[in-house]
Structure formats: C-alpha cells, structure tokens
Amino acid sequence: MDRIIVAGRIRPLSKVEIDENEEIVLQHDRNKENTLYIQGAYTTKQFKLDRVLTESSTQMDVFEIIHPILKSTLNGINATVFAYGQTGTG
C-alpha cells in the first residue's frame, strides 16, 4: 500500500431524516471514484471517496478493504486504520 485510501460506510437513515425527506445518493464514475451526495431538506453535501459501503454492506466487506493494509503490516510496513463512528455502531 503506497497511498491513503478513504472509505465510508453509509448508515441507515434515522426516522427524523426520513421524515425530513433526506436522501443518500451514490454515483460511480468511470474512474472508479465514488461520489456520495447527501440530499437534505435545505442543503446537499457532496463527498468524493475511494470506496463506499452501503447500509447493506457486511463486516466482511469492511474487512476486504482493510485486509491489504493488515497484510502489509505483517510484512513490516507501517500502516494505520482510523475508524470513526457513533458508539455501538459496530
């Protein structure tokens, strides 16, 4: 691994978000870049990520992304995995 990989995992919308007609849209382009749009009642946010995991993704899907990083670490290459999320989200 010789670069930073940014991946995001989409959580299901909350009841409040559903009531406010918020929407999550994922678009892929031919360069395999993922653009994630979060459409709210008053604003749209856009994020460009290397990989996006949907709310139906499994823990195994997450592992497949970080497996090469872990493998490099076992071969003596320094690596960091940073995970952020609400407590209890898995």
d(CA 23, CA 11): 12
One-letter-per-residue 3-state SS of 46-88: EEEECEEECCCCCHHHHHHHHHHHHHHHHCCCCCCCCCCCCCC
* pLDDT, average across residues 7-11: 79
**Predicted confidence (pLDDT) at residue 23 exceeds the cutoff of 80:** no
Please give the mean pLDDT across all residues of the chain.
Answer: 76
Instruction: Determine the pLDDT at residue 8.
Output: 80
Mean pLDDT lowest among 2-6, 15-19, 45-49: 2-6
Pick from 9, 1, 3, 12: nearest CA to 67:
1
**Predicted confidence (pLDDT) at residue 59 exceeds the cutoff of 70:** yes
pTM of the model: 0.61
d(CA 15, CA 49): 26
* pLDDT, average across residues 20-48: 71
